[in-house]
Amino acid sequence: MKHLNIGAFCLAAVVSLSGETAKAESVEQALRGLQPSSVIEYTRMVGGQTTLWSEWPWQTALYRMSNGHELFTCGGSLVAPGWVLSAAHCFGEESTDNPADWTVATRIGKLTPVGLPLDAETRKVKRLVVHEGYDKKSQENDIALMELAEPLPEPLIALQLEPDPVEESHRSVTVTGWGLTRWLVSKQDKTGHVVFFDGATNDPVDFKKFETPDLRKAEIPLVEVDQCARAYGNGVQKIDGRNLCAGLSQGGVDACQGDSGGPMMAKSAAGEWRQIGVVSWGKGCALAGYPGVYTRVSAFNAWIKNVMSGDDVAAGSDQSPSAPSGPAGAADTASGESATDPAHENPAGVMIAFKEGDDLSVGQRVAYVVTTQRPGYLTVLDATPDGKLTQVYPTAGSLRSPGSPTPASALIHPGKPVAIPDYRNPYRGFDVEITEPRGKGVMVALLSDKPLTSFETPQAPKTFASPKEGVDVIHRLRDELARSLSLQPKSSTAAPWSVAYHAYNIR
């Protein structure tokens, strides 16, 4: 994020944006937010989680000398024994381009905002190279390299210098840093003293309460760059193929003030960490509808290699032959494939599909078929091609026996496929016939340990009148799932539900 030096900490300035309001969340995006990882982040990872430097030994802290004091300013990453990668804006206004004023610290147990940490390993900076095309207004080319006076022996983070599937939208990425745990803004009072306010509520706050001496990490999903650009509208900031964007649609998790210049990382197909982005800027921190904006490392392949010339940069580019090539954000979001770990998102092994296949015709009569490896209470939702939400199951008419609906009616068991509707059952209550419009849809099966109560049980499948109404229903469901986490034993790491997605096409 854009930085502003205030007191002992380099704070992110609020990005002033003109333009249209963020694009409304789609039904499919909301459905993706039902994944256990997304809900856990929504409830347990606000502001990130404390982590150890030994997990991320390439993470560095940048300190600048000012009025005789070393001030923590930004994050960075060790990408070669003598080189640190960071953001250009860390060296902009009210800063200095004199390399002698900068010190890089690593192996930090507890970060100190003023003065170098006593337990850290430090190196002075010999050369500072800010991208020659960096524009502080548009935030284009927000990347910089620091050459150290002496190499650091720490493990390196491999740079993703070529386009790769790890950059695809909806993939989970990790961001680390010592930034503030809340979005703050600063103002000068009448006496000239700097005072701080909560960026969301404008309430005065004690700045020190939101500093953290501990390195923190946050997991967030990548967002399509085009969607990100639309969210920010027609402001002066530029978002294009040189960027990556990431964040939860509902907000709550994000890099924040002080995280600038730090690494955005993703795991390769081989399970190795790669740096794919550099923390750059955004509107506030963790605001709903405004993803964080990052500098895309692979877009600066030639620049990085040219600056470092003869030095070996840790690089990774083992692209899977079967993986799509091309820029991030080109993935088909209706593919039905989850980019996160199936063992975590779907521990019950739930599967859903149309009995008649994935390629359907208008007028065709169909049935959803669900199987599971564990017992649980079933909910079926459908993001139909018109962008609306259909609540398919449970419904009063989907009972496999006559009588009033009860919570037990939605209980399914392993090895017993459930057809909705079951055309062999005379009490099925309704038919499902494919109707216009043609296009792609995504169905979702959610299996929970307990019956869900956040929505009504209609007589037959219900299509909500507008996408917004459907999104509201999904958010109520997500909130119920979030509350269920508090009932889990503290030692439990598994969410009490599973989610499966499956795409189809109407021609």
List residues with catalytic annotation: 89, 142, 260
Q: Which residues of 459-485 are buried (b: 16+ CB within 10 A; e: fewer)?
A: eebbebeebeebbebbbebbebbbebb
For the record, the structure tokens of 506 come out as: 């109407």
DSSP letter string over 405-467?
--GGGGEE-TT--EEES-TT-TT-----B--SPPEEEEEEEEEESS---SS---SS-EE-SSH
Backbone angles phi, psi at 355, to 5 degrees: -60, -30
Q: Ramachandran region of residue 401, left (φ > 0), alpha (ψ -120 to 50) or beta?
A: beta
What pairs with residue 354 in β-bridges? 368
- Helices 467-485 and 36-44 cross at an angle (nearest 10°) of 70
Peptide bond just before 263 cis, omega within 30 deg = no
CA dihedral 443, 447, 451, 455 (to 10 degrees): -20
* Nearest CA among 351, 385, 341, 355 for reference residue 371: 351
Distance of CA 277 to the CA centre of its chain: 13
Buried b (16+ CB within 10 A) or exposed e, 200-229: eeeeebebeebbbeebbbbbbbbbbbebbb
The two three-digit tokens of residue 213, written as one number: 């001496």
Q: What angle do CA 115, 253, 63 make, to 5 degrees?
A: 15
Q: Which residues lie below 8 Å from residue 332, measured CB to CB, with a gap of 6+?
A: none
CA distance 501 to 507: 20
455: Cβ contacts below 8 Å, ≥ 6 apart: 391, 473, 476, 477
Phi and psi torsions of 27, nearest 5°: -60, -45
| Integer Cα distance of 144 and 130 in angstroms | 4
Structure tokens at 192: 């000239």
Rounded to whole angstroms, the Cα distance separating 188 from 89 reads: 23
Q: For residues 77 and 48, give the distance between their C-alpha atoms in angstroms, rounded to a whole number.
A: 19
Task: Give the residue ranges of DSSP H helices in 150-270.
Answer: 225-232
